[in-house]
Amino acid sequence: MNRILSFVCLVLLTVGSAAAWMQTTPQPKPYKVVFDLTSPDPMDQRAVLRWIKEVSTVNPKTEMEVVMYARGLDLVVNGKTTMAAEVAEAMKNAKFNVCAIAMKNQQVEKSQLLPNVGTVPDGIGEIVGKQNAGWGYIKVGH
């Protein structure tokens, strides 16, 4: 009987301590991050979509932007992407912008982009500007 009572007390103490710890654990501070996507590789495309989901789950107030240039455009071009639904879901938590220079070089028109994908005049300039404004920088790759 004493063993059972001791076990119950231990369980209640453990649960109570865990609940108190969870209430006092500070939430992570939001930050701003720009992802640099230049690859048509599906592994890289999946990675950036996964990172957006993971970051927004842990820290929903974080600002995120994916800047695509070179062959990174493939993620958001109708007829080339296989991840349109995943991109649409990620857009709830991040902006997706395509470099106008890369679009011109690859003969991609704005009408070919997935809905709600933005454009920037210069993808590299967009990334550098974000870094100068204090944004973190992540190069997407594997």
Q: How many helices (H) and strands (E) does the chain have?
A: 5, 5
pLDDT value at residue 61: 95
3: left (phi over 0), alpha (psi -120 to 50) or beta: alpha
What is the pLDDT, as a whole number, of residue 27? 75
122, 94 Cβ separation under 8 angstroms: no
pLDDT of residue 17 exceeding 80: no
pLDDT digits (tens, 9 = 90+) for 77-115: 999 999 999 999 999 999 999 999 999 999 999 999 999
pTM of the full structure = 0.81
pLDDT value, residue 10? 45
Check if CATH label 3.40.50.920 holds for domain 30-139. no
* CB-based contact 39:72 (threshold 8 Å): yes
The answer on pLDDT for 1 being more than 60 is no
Q: How far apart are CA 44 and CA 27, in angstroms?
A: 29
Q: How confident is the model at residue 7 (pLDDT cuts 50, 70, 90)?
A: very low
Q: Give the tens place of pLDDT for each residue, 30-76.
A: 999 999 999 999 999 999 999 999 999 999 999 999 999 999 999 99
Q: Residue 122 has what pLDDT? A: 98
- Burial code of 44-54, b = ≥16 C-beta within 10 A, e = fewer? bbebbbebbbe
C-alpha torsion 51→74→138→85, nearest 10: -20
| Phi–psi pair at 30, nearest 5 degrees | -60, 150
